Amino acid sequence: MTNDAQPLAPKAFPVSWDQFHRDARALAWRLAGHGEWHAIVCITRGGLVPAAIVARELGIRIIETVGVASYHDYKDQGELQVIKEVNQNVIDMDGGQGAGVLIIDDLVDTGKTARIVRDMLPKAHFATVYAKPKGRPLVDTFITEVSQDTWIYFPWDMGFAFQPPISKQTEG
């Protein structure tokens, strides 16, 4: 789902590939004790990478996607649109409404995307790697909470570049 809205203050939280992999594996470890999962529904695009890691670690073979678009230019949040629905066979598993299904995303931010997907699969278990306070009540399991005004820079969004020291970022 990747950061629903621009931050109030530019607090940067860059995440490396190594760190993201460790955090996604920690999420899988935590989920392993919560029951038997039959499928994953990942929220594209941010949920693709953690879903692959969780699926590997938990031996889950059925991976479905749901597409909800909120960013239209990576700056301003537009109206949310479901651009790809969840396959009905996945919704109907284990008695329906997403029972036995994990919903996976990289981040819950304001919770707007999470609310749409949660409404589609009310009995599913919602898990994210990172959570911000506004969206946190909508997820069942997460690894790291960051403040609402923190902007997470995911490894798939970054290249190698100089990072100024934090003291230089807060001056002025």
Q: Which of 73, 109, 149, 157 is catalytic?
A: 109
Cβ-contact 71, 134 below 8 angstroms? no
Q: Which of 18, 92, 105, 140 is catalytic?
A: 105
What values do phi and psi take at 152, rounded to 5?
Answer: -85, 125
Contacts of 31-36 with C-beta under 8 Å, sequence gap 24+, read 31/58, 31/102, 31/125, 31/127, 31/141, 32/57, 32/58, 34/125, 34/140, 34/141, 35/100, 35/125, 36/100
* Tokens standing for residue 20: 């993201």
* 18 counts as catalytic: no
Cβ-contact 107, 101 below 8 angstroms? no
Q: Which of 23, 73, 92, 106 is catalytic?
A: 106
* 119 counts as catalytic: no
Furthest-apart CA pair in the chain: how many Å? 57
* 76 counts as catalytic: no
Place of tokens 């911000």: 132
Q: Would you call 139 exposed, middle or buried from its count of C-beta atoms within 10 A (0-12, 13-18, 19+)? A: buried
Catalytic residues, by residue number, are 105-106, 109
